[in-house]
C-alpha cells in the first residue's frame, strides 16, 4: 500500500503516519525528517537545506527530488509507504509519478488532513520532538508521561527551530498557495480523500483507517 498524506504544517501528518506504519507495517518517508537528519549529521545536503528550512521556504527540487528517489528505491519501501511532506508542488507530483513508474509502484490513496489556520498555529507552537528518536508530542494535546522526556527512549524533547510564529505563518501561506492545483491533480486521478484533521488523534486515525479499509475491500 502506498499512501500520501497531505495537509498544512501541523495538520498531524507525522502523527498519523506513525500510527499507519504501526497498523499496516508501512515505512514512513517524510522529506522534512530526512532534511532534519541531514542537518543533524552536518552533511552538505543538510547545510544547503537548512538555509531554506530556517526561513520556512521550500527546499529546491534539485535537492528534494534526488532524496525522494533514493529513499523510495530502498528495498524496505517495497512493503508499502506512507509519504509525508511530499509532494508539495505539481512538479514534485509529476516527478513522483515518474519515480513510481520506474519502481513499478503506484499510489493507492492521497489523504489530506483538513484543518483551519488557528488550530494549526496552536499545534505547531506547542509541538515538541524527541531529540533522540524523533517522536512527536504536544504540550497540551499529546504530552509525554514525564515533562520534556520522551516516553519511548527517555530522550530530551525540543522545539523545532522552524516552529516559531513568524516562520509558521510563512509556511502556511506557501502551503495555501500551492495546495489547490495539487488537490485537482489527485482528484482527477480518483485518488483524493479528505479527512477531518481537527478531530482527536484517534478519531482522525479511525477516519483514515475507514478510507483504507474500503479501498482494500474494493480492490
Active site residue 147: no
**Residue 93 Cβ vs ligand ADP, minimum distance, rounded to whole Å:** 10
**Residue 206 Cβ vs ligand ADP, minimum distance, rounded to whole Å:** 11
Establish if 144 lies at the interface with Zn ion (CB under 5 A).
no
Among residues 36, 71, 127, 128, which one is catalytic? 127
What single DSSP character describes residue 76? G
Cβ closer to Zn ion: 56 or 144? Answer: 144
Q: Residue 133 binds which entry of Zn ion, ligand ADP, none, with Cβ cut-offs from 5 to 8 Å by kind?
A: Zn ion
Pairing of strands 136-138, 27-30: unpaired
> Could you tell me if 48 and 161 are in contact, meaning their C-beta atoms sit under 8 angstroms apart?
no
**Residue 217 Cβ vs ligand ADP, minimum distance, rounded to whole Å:** 26
- d(CA 28, CA 17) in angstroms, rounded, equals 6
- d(CA 67, CA 64) in angstroms, rounded, equals 5
C-alpha to C-alpha distances, 165 to 1, 17, 117, 129, 218, nearest whole angstrom: 36, 24, 12, 17, 43
**Residue 202 Cβ vs ligand ADP, minimum distance, rounded to whole Å:** 8
Which triple of cell numbers denotes residue 53? 528550512
- d(CA 81, CA 154) in angstroms, rounded, equals 27
Among residues 69, 160, 169, 194, which one is catalytic? 160
Q: Which residues contribute to the site for ligand ADP (CB under 6 A)? A: 7, 9-15, 31-32, 35, 52-53, 56-59, 64, 85-86, 88, 92, 123, 126-127, 136-138, 141-142, 171, 199-201, 204
C-alpha to C-alpha distances, 103 to 40, 75, 121, 151, nearest whole angstrom: 29, 11, 37, 37
Selected from 132, 142, 164, 198, the binder of Zn ion by CB under 5 A is: 132
Active site residue 160: yes
Establish if 150 lies at the interface with Zn ion (CB under 5 A).
yes
Instruction: Give the active site residues.
Output: 13, 88, 127, 160, 171
Binding site for Zn ion (CB under 5 A): 130, 132-133, 135, 150, 152-153, 155
Amino acid at each position: 500500500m502506498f499512501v500520501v498524506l497531505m495537509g498544512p504544517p501541523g495538520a498531524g501528518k507525522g502523527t498519523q503516519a506513525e500510527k499507519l506504519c504501526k497498523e499496516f507495517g508501512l515505512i514512513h518517508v517524510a522529506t522534512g525528517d530526512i532534511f532534519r537528519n541531514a542537518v543533524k549529521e552536518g552533511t552538505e545536503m543538510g547545510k544547503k537545506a537548512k538555509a531554506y528550512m530556517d526561513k520556512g521556504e521550500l527546499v529546491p527540487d534539485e535537492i528534494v527530488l534526488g532524496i525522494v528517489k533514493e529513499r523510495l528505491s530502498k528495498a524496505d519501501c517495497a512493503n508499502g509507504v506512507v509519504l509525508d511532506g511530499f509532494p508539495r508542488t505539481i512538479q514534485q507530483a509529476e516527478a513522483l509519478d515518474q519515480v513510481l513508474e520506474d519502481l513499478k509502484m503506484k499510489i493507492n490513496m492521497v489523504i489530506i488532513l483538513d484543518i483551519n489556520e488557528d488550530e494549526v498555529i496552536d499545534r505547531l507552537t506547542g509541538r515538541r520532538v524527541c531529540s533522540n528518536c524523533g517522536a512527536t508530542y504536544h504540550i497540551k494535546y499529546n504530552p509525554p508521561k514525564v515533562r520534556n522526556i520522551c516516553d519511548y527512549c527517555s530522550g530530551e524533547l525540543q522545539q523545532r527551530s522552524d516552529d516559531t510564529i513568524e516562520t509558521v505563518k510563512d509556511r502556511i501561506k506557501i502551503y495555501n498557495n500551492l495546495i489547490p492545483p495539487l488537490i485537482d491533480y489527485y482528484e482527477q486521478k480518483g485518488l483524493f480523500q479528505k479527512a477531518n484533521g481537527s478531530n482527536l488523534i484517534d478519531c482522525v486515525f479511525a477516519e483514515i483507517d475507514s478510507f483504507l479499509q474500503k479501498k482494500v475491500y474494493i480492490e
